[in-house]
Amino acid sequence: MKVLITGGCGFVGASLARQFATSDTRTTVVAFDNLRRRGSELNLRSFKDLGIQFVHGDIRNASDLQSCGTDFDLFIEASAEPSVHTGMDGDPDYVVQTNLLGTFNCLKYAQRHAAQFIFLSTSRVYSIAALREIALEEQSERFVISPEQTLAGVSSRGISEDFSTSRFRSFYGATKLGSEYLVQEFAAAYELDAVIYRCGVIAGPGQFGRTDQGVFTLWVAHHYFGKPLEFTGFGGQGKQVRDLLHPADLFQLIHKHSRLKDRKAGSVYNVGGGCSHSVSLAELSALCRRIVGRTVPIASRPKTARVDIPVFICDYGRVTADTGWRPSRDVETIVTDIFQWIQENEADLRPIFA
């Protein structure tokens, strides 16, 4: 098997590259990346040890992709400018060119050189205004989706693919939604065997988290290095909830789905941890204190950012129905894996996190 992963040195792409390389030594893995994101270059050492081929390039430049080679069994488009805040108070050029034009370049390349194409999209394609209109109940440490709802695509299981994408969603979400449309057009026009995963929060070892992206890994790192944190928005109590997906569970889905004969080209799937693997920041803080063994000060800033939402939990029922996949790694496992990764790589990670 021959696999190409764009964004291959990012958190998700690198995690998938390593898992493909170790799951079957006969698999050839090519990781393509521009190394723009901090810490991404640290993945190159493990790539060399595992025989993963690295190609330095930028998906904004279609000619760069030609250095990857041809005849791939699977192309995973995992590259992105992933911050929901990007462009909101400045220039959106990079996020638009990378997340939209870059995907278009990848699709043209896949049309000629790949048998299958998986596009890693995001739950951020759903409209912020609609997500804030979901009826919630407030508990002592988290917000909970109410049983009674008036909006389509939301239930006690979370948000499904039928939820609204019709209103604003951030430049990040808009470019990803536009890319989804392009994927579906290539599937219809050129019979490209392509599917779309709208991923929720992916968290685990190998993520160089920041406050605007990767906050759950950042939370563990700040507890480890003794740095202060802040509950921001929705009253500043840390009751916002997300479901978490371990990259190993994402790999299991890709591995399973890519081998099915009855894939539905152009299909869109929500992919996340679901209700059972969800956590609030307040709950995460208690978990970090127990696993890491350190308490850090956590300030409160009640003001809510324009792009923030109180709850997002993936209803992944559609992908389960089509593939039989379910995530298996819970929040405690994810936090423990992050903690152990930081312990084992403290010298490299201290300049980044501390």
> Which three-class secondary structure state does DSSP give residue 299?
strand
Would you call 27 exposed, middle or buried from its count of C-beta atoms within 10 A (0-12, 13-18, 19+)? middle
Contacting residues for 319 by C-beta, under 8 A, at least 6 apart: 197, 253, 257, 269, 270, 271, 325
> Is 250 part of any domain?
no
**Whole-structure pTM value:** 0.96
> Is 328 part of any domain?
yes
Q: Which regions of the chain are under pLDDT 70? A: 87, 211-213
Q: What is the total count of domains within the chain?
A: 2
- The tokens for 248 are 């190993």
> Is 144 part of any domain?
yes
CATH number for the domain including 183? 3.40.50.720
Q: What is the pLDDT of residues 116-167, one digit of tens each?
A: 999 999 999 999 999 999 999 999 999 999 999 999 999 999 999 999 999 9
Distance separating the N- and C-terminal Cα atoms of the chain: 40
DSSP per-residue string spanning 217-237:
HHHHHHHHHT--EEEESTTSS
Minimal CA–CA distance to 77: which of 47, 107, 101, 48?
A: 107
- What are φ and ψ of residue 144, in 5° steps? -130, 140
The rounded distance, in Å, linking the Cα atoms of 205 and 342 is: 8
Residues 311, 214 share a domain: yes
Residue 40 lies in domain: 1-126+169-199
Residues 325, 289 share a domain: yes
Q: What is the pLDDT of residues 27-39, one digit of tens each?
A: 999 999 999 887 8
pLDDT number for residue 353:
87
pLDDT number for residue 152:
97
Residues 5, 56 share a domain: yes
Contact 343, 222 (CB under 8 A): no
Residues 140, 62 share a domain: no
Minimal CA–CA distance to 276: which of 320, 313, 223?
A: 313
Residues 217, 103 share a domain: no
pLDDT number for residue 39:
81
> Is 350 part of any domain?
yes
Q: Average model confidence (pLDDT) for the chain?
A: 95
pLDDT number for residue 249:
98
pLDDT number for residue 211:
64
